Amino acid sequence: MRLKEGFLFIAVIIITCSIIGTFNIQESFSAPSTPLMDQRLKPIPQNLTWYPIMIFGDNRPSNIYANYPPEVFYRVVSEMDAANLLATIGLGDHVGYGNESQYAVFYSIMNSTRLENIWLIMGNHEVVYPNGWAYWRQYIGPEYYITDSIPGWRLALLNTETSLESWNNQLTQSVTGLGERTLILFIHRPVYPYVNHNIQANKNASIHEWANTYGWPPLVVQAHWHGWAYYRFNNTDWVISGSTGSPLYPTSECQPEAICVSAYHYMWLILYPNQTYLFKPVHATGGNLTVTTLNETAYIVINNKVDVYGNPVEIPVRVKYVVGGIEVFIVSIVPANTTIVFNINPTENYLIETNATEFYVYFTKEDPYYATVLLPGDDLSLGRYNVTGDIVLYEPVTLTSPTSTTTTTIKTTTTKTTTTTSPIPTTHQTTTTTPEPDTNTATSTTTSSSTTTSTTIETTLETTTPTQPKPTTTSTLTTTVPTTGTPIHSNPPRDDLQLTLILGITLLGVGIGLFAVLKKR
């Protein structure tokens, strides 16, 4: 009998340990001293030729309790890092449930890139877990963000997950002091088109009342519905750019007048100082965009990406040099199915050589908000501006999904040297029209064609091995103080209190069982 009691006691202990293991007590996390948006802020010069931005949304996993996003998201982040544009906007649902572990993983992924000016808004999944609101502020930044950092424009990243009072306040702030700037709204839950997954009814009524007073902005960029959608209504381009990894939704949910595609994608947007713009949706897995160092003074960019409709698509890219301690950037449109080379030739007074046709060069010295800008028809010799010295290039990072040990791996490609001939830059070309859908070809933006040419560059300068940079932040957030809202979902989370109760009940049962065993003795 005593043997049976012993086995019973051991069984209770094993079951208890199994229950504790099942609930997977999470390790404690130390929130960063500076939120991601603060860390990645960098001044944007106010006199550039055009301003390219990358946009993504809805990268949370299908299992909302998982810490790590889907594999396709790592590919998208790698390509966004390769493009390295002036700003990157996230449209929400970047984590699945709002646990601190999920925030820590997303923060780690984004903070491992070279991306500057990462501006993010929350979606409903960030705050399913009630503490998600606090974790957002600790790991990400403010609950909404309004910025005038691009000349001629105001970008308002508004929070659809907060209270109606806060939502109305955000709408009012988005137009306060707007002046001659043009407003673009970025929100998580869509207003148009109807996709059976739209903004809450009271906030929908509120934004329509607001628009009746102030007018609709020319462009509204949204997410939440997992796919790409474009709809032209009330003289506004309504865009849904809603999946870089979240489970795709069927296009049958989309209203017939809209163009909808169920595809993983990200989106680029170019803003011009004359208040025109261009945008294109890029298929996440259709083709590749690579930016690598060709040798100690040259980059090679290869673009064979397609858009969500399967058409070859151009991509804006910004490559970074440091020449004699001064950061020099070349911003270019890389046409579809094209290889572009950028080189700084120190034997020709640090001449910038490229086969790109649509690009500009900029660098700043004393004033980070005012740049020296060079166009293709200008003398591209950096030496004329006393920008000379050691040349440093930067390899993009390539992110891979976690291994079996659940760690994020960052890889860098190696540098190679090629002896080639030098190209001559051609005439600068710029397209500044607003995109319109083509009902015959099911595409929502204008397209451009260009001649693909190959080029190689010869250089003899010996420099130090390129290093992987970590972008620094030299400015602070200028957004207004946000209002804390309430969670959208009421699903009971497996938080610390619940886990404590479960373990307490389990241990109580163990104690009762042990008492019964000892009493029989």
Residue 519 maps to a domain: no
Which segments within 76-227 are labelled E, that is strand? 87-90, 118-120, 145-147, 153-157, 182-186, 219-222
Q: For residue 416, what pLDDT band results from cuts at 50, 70 and 90? A: very low
Asked if residue 95 has pLDDT above 50, the reply is: yes
Specify the DSSP element, H or E, that contains 416.
none
Q: What letters, b where the CB count within 10 A reaches 16 and e where it falls short, cover 116-148?
A: bbbbbbbbbbbbbbebbbbbbebbbbbbbbbbe
Three-state DSSP class for residue 34: coil
Report whether pLDDT(461) > 80: no
Cα 160 from Cα 402, distance rounded (Å): 31
For residue 407, give both structure tokens. Answer: 């760690």
Residue 323: inside a domain: yes
Query: Residue written as tokens 């440093």?
Result: 392
Q: Is residue 460 part of a domain?
A: no
Q: At which of 401, 426, 454 does a domain end?
A: 401
Residue 20 pLDDT greater than 50, yes or no: no
Q: Are residues 276 and 162 in the same domain?
A: yes
**Average model confidence (pLDDT) across the chain:** 81
- β-pairing verdict for 391-393 and 351-354: unpaired
For residue 473, pLDDT over 90 is answered with no
pLDDT at 450: 35
Does residue 16 lie in a domain region?
no
Q: Percentage of the chain surpassing pLDDT 90? A: 70
Residues 229 and 332 in one domain: no
Report yes or no on 277 lying in a domain. Answer: yes
pLDDT of amino acid 401: 84
Q: Is the pLDDT of residue 428 over 90?
A: no
What number of other Cβ atoms are within 10 A of residue 114's Cβ?
18
Answer with the one of 263, 285, 307 that is the final residue of a domain.
285
The verdict on 270 and 155 lying in the same domain is yes
Q: Considering 384, 401, 418, which residue would you say is the last residue of a domain?
A: 401
Phi-psi region of 123 (alpha: psi -120 to 50; beta: other; left: phi over 0): beta
- Residue 30: predicted pLDDT: 84
Q: Is 283 in contact with 264 (CB distance < 8 Å)?
A: yes
Is pLDDT at 310 greater than 80 in this prediction? yes
pLDDT beyond 60 at 403: no
Same domain assignment for residues 191 and 311: no
Q: Is the pLDDT of residue 426 over 70?
A: no
Residue 410 pLDDT greater than 50, yes or no: no
Q: How far apart are CA 121 and CA 309, in angstroms?
A: 27
> Are 371 and 278 within one domain?
no
Do residue 183 and residue 242 come from a single domain?
Answer: yes
| pLDDT value for 519 | 58
Question: Domain for residue 128, yes or no?
Answer: yes
Residues 250 and 349 in one domain: no
Q: Which residues contact 42 (CB under 8 A, 6 or more apart)?
A: 116, 117, 368, 471, 472, 473, 474, 475
Please report the pLDDT score of residue 220 as a whole number: 98
Does 514 map to a domain? Answer: no
Q: What is the CATH number of the domain that holds 244?
A: 3.60.21.10
234 lies in the same domain as 92? yes
Measured distance CA(294)–CA(354) in Å, rounded: 13
* Nearest residue to 350 via CA among 311, 322, 370, 312: 322
Structure confidence at residue 412 (pLDDT): 35
Summarised one tens digit per residue, pLDDT across range 189-214 is: 999 999 999 999 999 999 999 999 99
Instruction: Tally Cβ neighbours within 10 Å of residue 512.
Output: 11
pLDDT score of 12 more than 70: no
Q: What percentage of residues in the chain have a pLDDT greater than 70? A: 72
Average pLDDT of span 498-518: 54
Structure tokens at 33: 């001293």
Under a CB-based contact definition with an 8 Å cutoff, are residues 210 and 174 in contact?
Answer: no
pLDDT score of 120 more than 80 = yes
User: Mean of the pLDDT values across residues 354-370?
Assistant: 97
Kindly state whether residues 233 and 308 are assigned to the same domain: no
Radius of gyration of the chain (CA): 26
CA distance 144 to 187: 10
* SS3 readout for 51-66: EEEEEECCCCCCCCCC
What's the rounded Cα separation, in Å, for the pair 170 and 144?
Answer: 8
- Tokens in use for 18? 């199994």
Q: What is the DSSP secondary-structure string of 419-472?
A: --------------PPP--BTTTTB-S------------------PPP------
Cβ 307 vs Cβ 282: under 8 Å: yes
User: How many CB atoms are closer than 10 A to CB 324?
Assistant: 15
Whether residue 219 lies inside any domain: the answer is yes
| Domains of the chain: total | 2
> Residue 163 in contact with residue 483, Cβ under 8 Å?
yes
* Domain span at 48: 32-285
Distance CA 267, CA 350 (A): 34
pLDDT of res. 516: 58
Tokens matching residue 218: 């020319």
> Are residue 371 and residue 394 in the same domain, yes or no?
yes
Task: Fill in the amino acid letter for 138.
Answer: Q
- Non-local CB neighbours of 388 within 8 Å, separated by 6+ positions: 323, 324, 346, 350, 382
Domain match, 304 and 389 both: yes
- For 61-65, 355-359, 482-486, which range has the lowest pLDDT when averaged over its residues? 482-486
The model's confidence at residue 402, banded by pLDDT at 50, 70 and 90, is: confident
Mean pLDDT to the nearest integer, 208-229 = 97
pLDDT beyond 60 at 478: no
Whole-structure pTM value = 0.76
Stretch 313-342: mean pLDDT: 98
Order of strands across the sheet that contains 315-323: 372-374, 359-363, 326-334, 315-323, 391-393
Sheet-wide strand order for 219-222 = 145-147, 153-157, 182-186, 219-222, 236-241, 228-233, 259-261
Cα–Cα dist 412/170, whole Å:
41
- Residues 281 and 310 reside in one and the same domain: no
